[in-house]
Amino acid sequence: MKMKLILFGLLFLPTVARSQDLSWPDPVANHVVPRQSTAVTHGPVLGDITKKSVRIWLRADSEVDFDVLIRPNRPPFADADVHRGRTVPSEDFTGFVEVRDLLPNTEYAYAIRVAGEIIDLRAEFKDPWPTFRTLPAKGSYQHQFNPEGKFNFSFSIGACQRQRSPGKTYGIYPNPPAFNTIWEKHRNRISFHIVNGDYSYEETLDGSAAGIENNYKLYLDRGRSLNRLLRYVPMLTMYNDHEVTDNIDGSGEVGLGDGNYLVRDPAVRVWQYYADWANGDREQRAAVQFGKANLVKDTDVLHDPEADFTTLDLRQVSTLHVGPFYKGAAKPSRSTRGGNNVGVYRVKRVIDATHLQIEPPAKASGPAPYSIGTHHYFDKVVGNCHFLFLDTRGQRSKFKGVAHANDKDRHVLGETQKKWFIETVTRSPAEFLFVVSPDPWFIYHSAYHMRGESTESKGDGYCGYVHEREELTEMLDKLDKPVLLLTGDVHHPVAAQITDNVWEFLVSPVNSANHPIGTAGLPPLGGWFDSEGRTIKIKWLGGYPDNVHYLRQRHTVYSVISVNNIVKAGRPAGAGYQFVAYDEPQVVVTFHDGYSGEMLYSEGISTLDAKKPGPPAEKKNRFGHWNQ
């Protein structure tokens, strides 16, 4: 009897062990700990993905050291590479690590370790552990039928993700459904997500940097779907008016005096460490600088005894502002911000460590708090595609009304950015150009949804700066390649063809109350449309009617854009693939409903669409035949 009991016990024990789930991570075993048990308050967020690197960002409640653990494929992380980072007190305890020397086209799992504990990075306990994939390289899909090593890839894009309705009655979802839809349906296919402006809206402004910082924290806290997506899909972004708390037209016009455009640099500085880190480093960008200077009437010298201007690279400087301030509280008096010297200046020369030559000269003698702005435009090449991200707010001249839209001295890009843009697109060897512009080029942004009177531009987009728009459009039209303008700001999605080789795809809103058709200038639901003197082809638009109050219109959209360069085919024998390059690759732009993921509209654009008709291709077998 005793022997039987012992045998019964031996047989029983393995059965219990097999019934237990011992997979990683098991919180009972303390493989991971909940984030709220650590100093980390926000993130992680992925950004600046390349074929060999990625950036991983987080925020903590204090200055802390943290480790990023990286390994191919899946956790656990016993054999992971360790990359160390530290949060920065002067940047609201945010910080990021750039992980380098990764393999192209490879899936990696990552973890965050603080004070010896690995944080559970999953938004929901049953979610898969976050991973990301590096971009492919030339050798990833190179084949005898694909000698250039082209590859397919996709990305998602959207703009305008307000989480709170501007009114008290009608609501927008505080946790945007669209990001969950992208996560559920596309995260394993898309290489990155573009937040094309209006990442956050003004809810916590209080006249300080903390008020703007709190906006970003609120949007990551309340918008759990956003943070969830960006743990799996790296971000790229460009700011628009809501990140900088005003339209800021005039911030790039030297000689202007006081105005709300002087909020640019304080707000952009916060954007730099909460969002711009995801765009990577570039030679034209620097940190925004602040100081307190002395000016002498009728002289062109700014003196700051505490500064060190020897490191100031004028190629990185946009305009200098005297009298910058934060919105959200009573506007500081002009007398405390530089008096008659408040305004927009050009930095002409670094004289020495504490002196700058500026233009125009000072109007009065006295102290002058100042900020030195920088350039935020940048580009990114992915395979045969060239992405150009435009700063359409920070270097503008003042909007003087539509009567002056064709004035030659009215501009959006500013001299430096415009020169860079023209040179970059005309010299680019890429087969597709994607111009990421937070503000629209040919679609109006009027106040029609508020008053129902006029559809004329209120100055947000290029319909208020037509002279520069037409100059750039004529330049783009001469290129023998497709140019896709990816725009936002207006809360009404539109697909429009501008010329034989230029398209505008306005992808918005991801989560903001909608703008009805009138706000976009009353375009037809498909047809020809006059955009400030240029006739364009409206291929599709959301179609939100003006008989419904805009706060009752809750459509949400995003787009997935696919670049099709190669065909994946089987081999004549054995397992594996042949990769066959298209003679004329295509881009497919698809608009999706943010609630369901349903396709709303899709358009394919081939490199052939931008070329003049030619002779028919020779009917020739290039691949051999299975029967030979």
* Per-residue model confidence as pLDDT tens digits over 52-66: 999 999 999 999 999
Side-chain-side CA neighbours of 47 within 13 Å: the count stands at: 27
Mean pLDDT in the chain? 94
pLDDT reported for residue 131? 97
Domain layout of the chain by residue ranges: 27-135, 153-239+275-284+375-569+598-609, 251-262+286-373
Q: Tell me the backbone φ, ψ of residue 282, rounded to 5 degrees.
A: -150, 155
The mean pLDDT of 208-217, rounded to a whole number, is 97
Query: Would you say residue 183 has pLDDT above 90?
Result: yes
Q: Tell me the β-bridge partners of 494.
A: 506, 541
pLDDT reported for residue 10? 37
Alpha helical stretches, state H, 454-561: 466-477
The single residue listed with the structure tokens 């047989």 is: 11
Query: 369 and 342 in contact (C-beta within 8 Å)?
Result: no
Alpha helical stretches, state H, 199-303: 209-222, 224-230, 264-274
Query: 444 and 465 in contact (C-beta within 8 Å)?
Result: no
- The fourth-level CATH superfamily of domain 27-135 is Purple acid phosphatase-like, N-terminal (2.60.40.380)
Other Cβ atoms closer than 10 A to 601: 18
The mean pLDDT of 475-481, rounded to a whole number, is 97
Q: Tell me the backbone φ, ψ of residue 420, rounded to 5 degrees.
A: -60, -45
- The fourth-level CATH superfamily of domain 153-239+275-284+375-569+598-609 is Alkaline phosphatase D (PhoD) (3.60.21.70)
| Residue 600 token pair | 């709303």
* Per-residue model confidence as pLDDT tens digits over 268-294: 999 999 999 999 999 999 999 999 999
Q: How far is CA 250 from CA 102, 107, 400, 406, 461, in A?
A: 43, 45, 10, 16, 14
The mean pLDDT of 306-333, rounded to a whole number, is 97
- Per residue, what are the HEC states of 69-91? EEEECCCCCCCCEEEEEECEHHH
Is the pTM for the entire model greater than 0.85?
yes
Query: 24 and 121 in contact (C-beta within 8 Å)?
Result: no
| Residue 439 token pair | 């503000």
Residues 6+ apart with CB under 8 A from 590: 559, 560, 561, 562, 599, 601, 602
Query: Would you say residue 558 has pLDDT above 70?
Result: yes
pLDDT grade for 11, boundaries at 50, 70 and 90: very low
Greater confidence, 33 or 15? 33
Q: Percent of the chain beyond pLDDT 70?
A: 96
- Burial (CB count <10 Å: 0-12, 13-18, 19+), residue 281: exposed
pLDDT reported for residue 168? 60
* Per-residue model confidence as pLDDT tens digits over 514-556: 999 999 999 999 999 999 999 999 999 999 999 998 888 999 9
DSSP 16-62: HHHHS--PSP-GGGTSSB-GGGSSEEEEEEEE---SS-EEEEEEESS
Round to whole Å and give the CA distance between 70 and 86. 17
* Per-residue model confidence as pLDDT tens digits over 397-448: 999 999 999 999 999 999 999 999 999 999 999 999 999 999 999 999 998 8
pLDDT reported for residue 19? 39
CA Rg value for the chain = 27
- For residue 322, give the amino acid letter: V
Q: Tell me the backbone φ, ψ of residue 473, rounded to 5 degrees.
A: -65, -40
Round to whole Å and give the CA distance between 130 and 579. 29
Residues 6+ apart with CB under 8 A from 555: 509, 514, 542, 544, 593, 594
Round to whole Å and give the CA distance between 340 and 461. 31
Query: 120 and 77 in contact (C-beta within 8 Å)?
Result: no
Among residues 522, 539, 417, which one has the least CA distance to residue 463? 522
pLDDT reported for residue 17? 40
pLDDT reported for residue 611? 95
Query: 245 and 201 in contact (C-beta within 8 Å)?
Result: no
Among residues 360, 405, 398, which one has the least CA distance to residue 252? 398
pLDDT grade for 18, boundaries at 50, 70 and 90: very low
- DSSP class of 617: P
Round to whole Å and give the CA distance between 592 and 587. 16
Query: 129 and 108 in contact (C-beta within 8 Å)?
Result: no
Residues 6+ apart with CB under 8 A from 320: 302, 344, 345, 346, 347, 356, 358, 370, 371, 372, 373
pLDDT reported for residue 459? 86
Distance, first Cα to last Cα, the chain:
76
Residues 6+ apart with CB under 8 A from 79: 71
pLDDT reported for residue 566? 98
Query: 77 and 69 in contact (C-beta within 8 Å)?
Result: yes
Asked whether the CA dihedral 471, 472, 477, 479 is positive or negative, the reply is: positive
- DSSP class of 146: B
Among residues 357, 277, 301, 241, which one has the least CA distance to residue 92? 277
Q: Tell me the backbone φ, ψ of residue 314, rounded to 5 degrees.
A: -65, -20
pLDDT grade for 449, boundaries at 50, 70 and 90: confident
* Per-residue model confidence as pLDDT tens digits over 114-154: 999 999 999 999 999 999 999 999 999 999 999 999 999 99
Round to whole Å and give the CA distance between 508 and 89. 35
pLDDT reported for residue 7? 36
The mean pLDDT of 327-334, rounded to a whole number, is 95
pLDDT reported for residue 366? 97
